[in-house]
Amino acid sequence: MAIIINLDVMMAKRKMTLNELSQKVGLTTVNLSILKTGKAKGVRFNTLESICKALDCQPGDILEYRK
């Protein structure tokens, strides 16, 4: 996969657990885990916005493109 999800990196930098992020974003831990492991096929912009707001980061801090 060319798109890398760095959600776990940002969570570690912010010292936030999956459960804490789940509560702040309003998604289940299962759905966040699927996103975190890169198994998600897509992400909605409003979900990405909520995650960025909760982690105080930019979308580019979470999503990365590699050849």
Cβ proximity of 61 and 4 under 8 Å: no
| pLDDT at residue 63, as a whole number | 95
Average pLDDT in the 10-25 region? 96
57, exposed or middle or buried, with CB in 10 Å at 0-12, 13-18, 19+?
Answer: middle
| pLDDT at residue 1, as a whole number | 58
pLDDT band at 55; cut points 50, 70, 90 = very high
Residue-averaged pLDDT of the chain: 94
| pLDDT at residue 67, as a whole number | 87
